[in-house]
Amino acid sequence: MARQKTVITCAITGAIHTPTMSDALPYTADDIASQALAAAEAGASVLHLHARNPENGAVSIDPDNFAAFLPRIKQATDAVVNLSTGGSLTNTIDERIAPALKFSPEMCSMNMGSMNFSFHPLAKRYDEFKFDWEKAYIENSDTYIFRNTFADIQNAANQLAPHDIKFEHECYDVGHLYNLKFCMDIGLFKAPIFIQFIFGILGGIGPEVDNLIFMKRTADRLFGDNYRWSVLGAGGSQMSLATTASQMGGNVRVGLEDSLFISRGKLAESNAQQVAKIRRIVEDLGCEVASPDEAREILALKGGDRVNF
Ligand code: KMH
Ligand code: ZN
């Protein structure tokens, strides 16, 4: 069988990192749009997007903050738009899916289990913060349960079903694969599903290659040919795990949401710089990178003409 091309997803800004941590982290609509477009230009066929408050960089799920950049991205690239439903530390599932319901993107995230999800150790690295909210936001993540109960998942899946959105199933540990299997068996998601194996979040499985092989083998057993997969390594594991995943036949996710660095101890200048790096590695090692339309085919997406923005 011909080897499938590699889909590069770029996650542009996320909900973990804060403006103090890197000047490159985009939070105005202009910066989110221009970094997303540059990432697409560099080879990302999927853009995973969160919104931020344009005044102070705080995480936002306000559909107006998405509306400020979505049409600009759509006008200037045919890359696939994937909206986060992750929200931030305090949002309910109904609040978190509001942007996806309003804009009906080709893809959106779907987090597959409740868990500790913490980045509080990052607070110690900074003496001063650019904005008032940052320190408490980072420190309080050690009190946070990222809530994605079966009822939440079912509620989100049912409300989003009429929109024919392909989910990026965020799986942070092996149990999340079994949650996903259960949800598939009761008819919530249709094949081929798209799994993002996530490594290195404090609260989830660690970023070792053994764990990647274990997650992949488990997914093979549970889903057979009915799934596509990608790897996200958080922080320092980003590039090495993406490289390993691409060599195993998987797809990859990079971006400042997941790591602020381009190499050990060196901050990335932009999302596009990370995309260009992983593209270079993937191609040097003999794989081809998928275009947006090839990504649409691989992931069985509804098409960029069926979104609502
Ligand atoms: N920040 C990533 C570790 C979401 O947006 O729904 C997971 C993520 C979640 O991308
Ligand atoms: Zn995200």
CATH classification of the domain holding 153:
3.20.20.70
Which of 257, 259, 260 to mutate to test ligand 1, by most ligand atoms within 8 A of the CB atom? Answer: 257
Contact indicator for 184, 193 with CB cutoff of 8 Å? yes
Residues in the chain, total: 309
Distance 126 CA to ligand 2 centre (A): 23
- Is the beta carbon of 109 within 6 A of some atom in ligand 1? yes
Asked if residue 282 belongs to a domain, the reply is yes
- Is the beta carbon of 168 within 6 A of some atom in ligand 1? no
Ligand 2 ion local residues (Cβ < 5 A): 14, 84, 86
Atom of ligand 1 nearest to the CA of 15: 1
Angle at alpha carbon of residue 160, lines to 300 and 148, rounded to 5°: 100
Distance, C-alpha 13 to centroid of its chain:
10
Asked if residue 124 belongs to a domain, the reply is yes
Asked if residue 2 belongs to a domain, the reply is no
Asked if residue 105 belongs to a domain, the reply is yes
The domain containing residue 83 runs over which residues? Answer: 8-306
User: SS3 for 109?
Assistant: strand
Phi, then psi, of 79 in degrees rounded to 5: -60, 150
The two tokens of residue 11 are 């996650």
Q: Number of folded domains in the chain?
A: 1
- Is the beta carbon of 207 within 6 A of some atom in ligand 1? no
Q: What is the pLDDT of residue 117?
A: 97
Nearest ligand to residue 207 Cα: 1
Which residue has a Cα nearest atom 2 of ligand 1? 258
Phi, then psi, of 30 in degrees rounded to 5: -60, -50
Q: What is the pLDDT of residue 272?
A: 99
Among residues 53, 124, 126, 61, the alpha carbon closest in space to that of 88 is found at: 61
What letter would DSSP give residue 288? -
- Is the beta carbon of 84 within 6 A of some atom in ligand 1? yes
Type of residue numbered 215: M
Which stretches in the chain have pLDDT values below 50?
none
- Is the beta carbon of 201 within 6 A of some atom in ligand 1? yes
**Residues facing residue 195 across a β-bridge:** 169, 229
- Is the beta carbon of 257 within 6 A of some atom in ligand 1? yes
- Is the beta carbon of 134 within 6 A of some atom in ligand 1? no
Q: What is the pLDDT of residue 1?
A: 52
Which residue has a Cα nearest atom 4 of ligand 1? 86
Other CB atoms within 10 Å distance of the CB of residue 303: 11
Asked if residue 242 belongs to a domain, the reply is yes
The two tokens of residue 260 are 């602020």
Max CA-CA distance within the chain? 54
Asked if residue 3 belongs to a domain, the reply is no
Other CB atoms within 10 Å distance of the CB of residue 308: 11
d(CA 258, CA 214): 21
- Is the beta carbon of 255 within 6 A of some atom in ligand 1? no
What residue has token string 């694969």? 177
For the CA atoms of 198, 200, 203, 205, the dihedral, rounded to the nearest 10 degrees, stands at: 70
- Is the beta carbon of 59 within 6 A of some atom in ligand 1? no
Type of residue numbered 15: A
Q: What is the pLDDT of residue 2?
A: 62
What residue has token string 């200037």? 76
Type of residue numbered 248: M
Residues 6+ apart with CB under 8 A from 35: 12, 13, 26, 256, 270, 271, 272
Distance 280 CA to ligand 2 centre (A): 24
Which residue has a Cα nearest atom 9 of ligand 1? 86
Contact indicator for 97, 85 with CB cutoff of 8 Å? yes
Nearest ligand to residue 110 Cα: 1
Distance 51 CA to ligand 1 centre (A): 12
Asked if residue 219 belongs to a domain, the reply is yes
Asked if residue 1 belongs to a domain, the reply is no
The two tokens of residue 1 are 């069988």
d(CA 289, CA 280): 10
Which of 61, 66, 170, 205 to mutate to test ligand 1, by most ligand atoms within 8 A of the CB atom? Answer: 170
CA contacts within 13 A on the Cβ side of 14: 22
